[in-house]
Amino acid sequence: MRTGAKCVVAVAAALFVAGAAMASAQPEWKAPADAKAMKNPSPKDPKSIAEGKKLAETNCATCHGPEGKGNGPAAAALPPPKPADWTSAKVKTESDGDIFWKISNGRGAMPPWKHLPDKDRWALVNYIRSLQK
């Protein structure tokens, strides 16, 4: 009984410490290797990019800003990690599959967008790429 209670306390304390650590310094957000290697089936043509832009204006701009720089009106109120700057060197070096997976799964304040059809999520990837020129 006593060890059981101690155990619960220890687990609760560990969770608390983990929670505090996560709030201050999020570990790097990594997609699984197979997701990273995923090939983008949508050509980066003007049509797909225009679709992505429209989707981003509707769903993402409040946090990521009108040009994807991570400075949308809701960004200031969010605790770190802040909405990503899609034009940053970090996002530039990520594979299409990596970005697609992150859009699909979300993390913390970043919502998951799995409910959007695959085609729409790849259009968002193509739009993000078009901003990185």
Residues making contact with ligand HEC (CB under 6 A): 26, 29, 56, 59-60, 62-64, 74, 78, 81-84, 91, 94, 99, 102-103, 107-111, 113, 124
In the complex, what is the shortest distance from the CB of residue 1 to ligand HEC, in angstroms, rounded to a whole number? 40
Q: Residue 107 and residue 83: Cα distance in Å, rounded?
A: 10
Q: Sign of the C-alpha dihedral, residues 75, 103, 31, 129?
A: negative
**Quick one: 9 or 112, whose CB is closer to ligand HEC?**
112
Q: How far apart are CA 72 and CA 77, in angstroms?
A: 10
Q: CA 128, CA 133: separation in Å to the nearest integer?
A: 10
User: With respect to ligand HEC, which residue has the nearer C-beta, 39 or 115?
Assistant: 115
Work out how close the CB of 52 gets to ligand HEC at its nearest, in angstroms, rounded to a whole number.
8
Per-residue tokens: 112: 């998951």
Closest distance to ligand HEC from the beta carbon of 22 (Å): 10
Report the alpha-carbon distance of residue 131 to residue 65 in Å, rounded: 12
Least distance between ligand HEC and beta carbon 45 (Å): 19
